[in-house]
Amino acid sequence: MVTETDVQNAVVELLRKTVVRLPADVKSALKAAAEIETEEVPRMQLKAIMDNIALAEEGNTPMCQDTGVTIFYITLPRNCEVDVEKGIVDGVRLATKEVPLRPNAVQPLTRKNPGDNVGERMPFINCKVGDKEYIEITVMTKGAGSENMSQLGMLTPSQGVPGIKEFVLSTVLRAGGNPCPPMVLGIGIGGSSDICMKLAKEALLRPLNERHKDSEIAALETELLEALNMLDIGPMGLGGRTTVLGLNIEYAYCHTASLPVAVNVQCWAARRGTVRIHPDGKLQFPTHEEG
Amino acid sequence: MTKRLKTPLSEDDVRSLKAGEVVYLDGVVLTGRDEVHIHALEHLEKGESIPVDFKGAALFHCGPIMRKSGDAWEVVAAGPTTSSRMNSLEPEFIEKFRPGAIIGKGGMSQPTVDAMKKHGCVYLAITGGAAVLAAKGISSVSGVEWYELGMPEAIWILNADNFGPLTVGIDSHGNSLYASVNEKVKENEAKVRERLGLKK
Ligand code: SF4
C-alpha cells in the first residue's frame, strides 16, 4: 500500500523535475520563438534562455532562482486511505532543503519567513476525487514576477467579447517586460470572481500546443495570441516578435448579470509537473517523460 | 558590439557604454533589492556607515538561492528580480551611493534614467529567470552582509568572471531601450486593436 512517506518522496522528486526541466511543449515553443526572431537584442535574450535551460538540465539545478510558491492539483482514487495532503506538505518541506527551493512563503502581514515554504494554507492544495486507481499530483511552482501582473475584471455582460479582448490587451500592456516575457497567458472567462481566477490558473496547466476543445474558444485563443504578438514587447520587454508564447482559455457558465474575466500571467519558465503514484508504488511523470 | 569591463567602473567606463551594446563584467558584483535600498538610505540618514562600498559598483537586483558548503557560500541560482519595484528608491540611491551599474530585469522609470544621466550610471539588462547562466558567471562568493534581512534580501558579495551577457538597457546619456520599445508598442497597439476589432 502507498504510504504518506511514498507521497512525500514522490513530491520531492516531482518538485525537483518541475523546477529543473520545462515540459516539452514549452521548450519547443521557445525554440520556435528563437527561430523566427531576426533582431539582435531579442535573439540574445532567447539564446540566454535556451542556454540557461540546457545548463539547468545538465547541472540538475533550478532553472530560475524564484522557485515560486507551490500550488497543487490532486486527483484521488475513490477509496484513498493515505493522507495525501500531509505527504505533500512534508514533501514541500523536504524539497525546500534538498532540491533546494528558495524559501519564498511568508506570513502576508508580518512577512515572517518560516524558511520551509510551509505555512497557513501553503502549499495550497486543490483536491478532487477521480475514477482512476492512481493518485495524481500536479504542481505549479509559480514565480512572483509574473503572478504580480495577473488581473481580474468584473465586466458587465454588455461589454461582451470586445470587453474581454480589451481586458486581456490592457493586462499585457500593463505587464510589459516585467513578467519575464515571452509570457504565457492563462485566461478564465465566466464563473464568479473566485472561480474565474481559478480557471485562469488552470488554463496554464494545459500544454501550449493544445487548443480548447470548443472551437469558438479555440478560435479566440488563436486570435488573441496572434494579435498580441503584433505588439512587439518582445523577450524581456526589449522588443521582438514573441511577446506571448502561448495562450489558453478555460470558461465556466456564469450569472446572466455578470461577465468575469481573469488573466493569470506566467513567465517563460512555465513550470508545471505531474506525478502518478500507482497502487504498487510505481511512479510515472507524464509531463517529464524524458527525465 | 561586445565589451568586457571590470568593476568598480570608472566614470569613463560608464560613459562609454551605449544603449543596445552587450557587456560582460569581471570583478565584484553586489546584490541588493528592496530591503537593501531602504536599509542603506536609512543608515545614511542616521549617519551610520554601511558595510560595503557602492561607489562604481555593479548593484544586482537579485535575490539568489545560496548554499553553504563547509564555510563557504556558493550560488545555486542568481537571476534578476523585477527592477521597477525599486523605481521610487533608485534615483536617491544613485545620487547618494554612486553605483556605476545597476543590473536587473524589466527596466526602470524616467526619474532613474535621469539620475543615471546626471551621476553616470547604466542599467544592464540580464535575462530574467536565466539564473543558472548568471550563476555560471560568478566564480566565488566573498561574503554576505545584512544576512538578517533574509537570504533573498541580503547583500551578497559576488566575484564575477565574464558575467553576462548583459544588454545596456539604459545608458548614461538619457537613452533607454525600454522607452523606445514603449513608443513602438504604442504605435503597434493601434494595429492590434484593428485586428481584434476594438475601438481606437
Ligand atoms: S517571472 Fe518567472 S522567470 Fe522571471 S524571475 Fe520570476 S519565476 Fe523566474
Instruction: Give the mutation candidate from A169, A236, A243 for the B interface (greatest B CB count, under 10 A).
Output: A236
Confidence band for B157, pLDDT divided at 50, 70 and 90? very high
Determine whether the shortest distance from the Cβ of A237 to ligand 1 is under 6 A: no
Amino acid B78: pLDDT: 87
In-domain check, residue A28: no
Q: In chain A, which residue's Cα lies nearest the Cα of B178? A: A238
**What is the rounded CA–CA span in Å between residue B183 and residue B177?**
10
User: 3-state DSSP call for residue B8?
Assistant: coil
Of B130, B178, B181, the CB nearest to A49: B130
**CA separation, residue A180 to residues A200, B43, B80 (Å):** 18, 33, 10
**What is the rounded CA–CA span in Å between residue A233 and residue B178?**
9
Phi/psi at B125 (5° precision): -85, 125
The cell 486570435 sits on which residue? A223
Q: Is A20 on the interface with B (CB under 8 A)?
A: no
Of A84, A215, A83, A177, nearest to A139 (Cα)? Answer: A84
Confidence band for A176, pLDDT divided at 50, 70 and 90? very high
Q: Do B81 and A66 touch (CB under 8 A)?
A: yes
Confidence band for A215, pLDDT divided at 50, 70 and 90? very high
Determine whether the shortest distance from the Cβ of A267 to ligand 1 is under 6 A: yes
CATH of the domain at B135: 3.20.130.10
Q: Do B20 and A41 touch (CB under 8 A)?
A: yes
- Same domain for A161 and A276, yes or no, is no
DSSP class of residue B119?
Answer: H
Mode of pairing for the β-strands spanning B72-77 and B138-145: unpaired
Q: Considering the entire predicted model, what is its pTM? A: 0.92
Q: For all residues of chain A together, what is the average pLDDT? A: 96
- Same domain for A138 and A261, yes or no, is no
Q: Give the residue-averaged pLDDT of A140-155.
A: 96
- Same domain for A190 and A101, yes or no, is no
User: 3-state DSSP call for residue A210?
Assistant: coil
**What is the rounded CA–CA span in Å between residue A179 and residue A237?**
9
Q: Quote the domain boundaries for residue A113.
A: 4-21+63-143+270-288
**What is the rounded CA–CA span in Å between residue A98 and residue A115?**
13
**What is the distance in angstroms between the Cα of B131 and the nearest Cα belonging to chain A?**
5
Confidence band for B76, pLDDT divided at 50, 70 and 90? confident
Q: Compute the Cα dihedral for A125, A126, A128, A130 and give only its sign.
A: negative
Name which residue sits closest to atom 7 of ligand 1, judged by CA. Answer: A143
- Same domain for A122 and A17, yes or no, is yes
Contact present, B10 and B56 (Cβ < 8 Å): yes
- Same domain for A111 and A17, yes or no, is yes
Q: Is A163 on the interface with B (CB under 8 A)?
A: no
The cell 476525487 sits on which residue? A129
Q: Is A159 on the interface with B (CB under 8 A)?
A: no
- Same domain for A209 and A123, yes or no, is no
The pLDDT tens digits for A223-241 are 999 999 999 999 999 999 9
Report how many domains make up chain B. Answer: 1
Q: To 5 degrees, how large is the angle CA B70–CA B76–CA B82?
A: 135
**What is the rounded CA–CA span in Å between residue A205 and residue A203?**
5
Determine whether the shortest distance from the Cβ of A273 to ligand 1 is under 6 A: no
**What is the rounded CA–CA span in Å between residue B151 and residue B96?**
25
**What is the rounded CA–CA span in Å between residue B167 and residue B181?**
14
Q: Quote the domain boundaries for residue B151.
A: 2-195
Q: Of all helices (H) and strands (E), which one includes residue A239?
A: none
In-domain check, residue A131: yes
The pLDDT tens digits for A102-122 are 999 999 999 999 999 999 999
Determine whether the shortest distance from the Cβ of B132 to ligand 1 is under 6 A: no
**What is the rounded CA–CA span in Å between residue B107 and residue A20?**
27
DSSP letter string, B136-183:
HTEEEEEEEE-GGG-TTTSEEEEEEEEEEEEEEEE-TTS-BHHHHHHH
Amino acid B2: pLDDT: 85
CATH of the domain at A114: 3.30.1330
Contact present, A120 and A144 (Cβ < 8 Å): no
The pLDDT tens digits for A72-100 are 999 999 999 999 999 999 999 999 999 99
Contact present, A225 and A242 (Cβ < 8 Å): no
pLDDT at B178 over 70: yes
**CA separation, residue B34 to residues B86, B119, B195 (Å):** 6, 21, 40
Mode of pairing for the β-strands spanning A244-252 and A151-155: unpaired
State which amino acid sits at residue B173.
Answer: H
Residues 6+ apart with CB under 8 A from B12: none
Counting atoms of ligand 1 from 1, which one is nearest the CA of A142?
Answer: 7
Amino acid A224: pLDDT: 98
In-domain check, residue A136: yes
**What is the rounded CA–CA span in Å between residue A36 and residue A43?**
9
Of B63, B150, B185, the CB nearest to A233: B185
Q: Report how far ligand 1's centroid is from the alpha carbon of A259 (Å).
A: 30
- Same domain for A158 and A244, yes or no, is yes
B62 vs A contacts (CB less than 8 Å): 65
In-domain check, residue A105: yes
The share of chain A scoring above pLDDT 90, in percent, equals: 97
Beta strand extents in chain B (DSSP E only): 2-6, 22-31, 58-60, 65-69, 72-77, 101-104, 122-125, 138-145, 155-170
pLDDT at A290 over 90: no
Q: Give the residue-averaged pLDDT of B129-148.
A: 93
pLDDT at B1 over 80: no
DSSP class of residue A275?
Answer: E
Report how many domains make up chain A. Answer: 2
User: What value does the CA radius of gyration of chain A take, rounded to a whole number of Å?
Assistant: 19
Question: A with B: how many residue pairs have Cβ under 8 Å apart?
Answer: 156
A226 vs B contacts (CB less than 8 Å): 195
Phi/psi at B159 (5° precision): -100, 115
Q: Of all helices (H) and strands (E), which one includes residue B188?
A: helix B177-195
- Same domain for A230 and A107, yes or no, is no
- Same domain for A162 and A120, yes or no, is no
- Same domain for A16 and A136, yes or no, is yes
- Same domain for A226 and A182, yes or no, is yes
β partners of residue B140: B159
pLDDT at A249 over 80: yes
Name which residue sits closest to atom 3 of ligand 1, judged by CA. Answer: B129
Q: Compute the Cα dihedral for B189, B194, B198, B200 and give only its sign.
A: positive
- Same domain for A132 and A252, yes or no, is no
The share of chain B scoring above pLDDT 70, in percent, equals: 100
Q: Is A110 on the interface with B (CB under 8 A)?
A: no
Residues of B acting as catalytic residues = 37
ipTM of predicted complex: 0.91
Helices and strands (DSSP H and E) totals, chain B: 6, 9
Amino acid B114: pLDDT: 98
Residue to substitute in A140, A180, A268 for testing ligand 1 pocket (most ligand atoms within 8 angstroms of CB)? A180
Task: Dig out the grid coordinates for A139 from the structure.
Answer: 504542481
Of A151, A149, A157, nearest to A190 (Cα)? Answer: A157
In-domain check, residue B200: no
Residues 81-100 of A with CB under 8 A from B: 100
Determine whether the shortest distance from the Cβ of A145 to ligand 1 is under 6 A: yes
Q: Report how far ligand 1's centroid is from the alpha carbon of A133 (Å).
A: 35
Q: Compute the Cα dihedral for A120, A124, A129, A131 and give only its sign.
A: negative
Residues 181-220 of A with CB under 8 A from B: none
Of B76, B135, B188, the CB nearest to A230: B188
In-domain check, residue A48: no
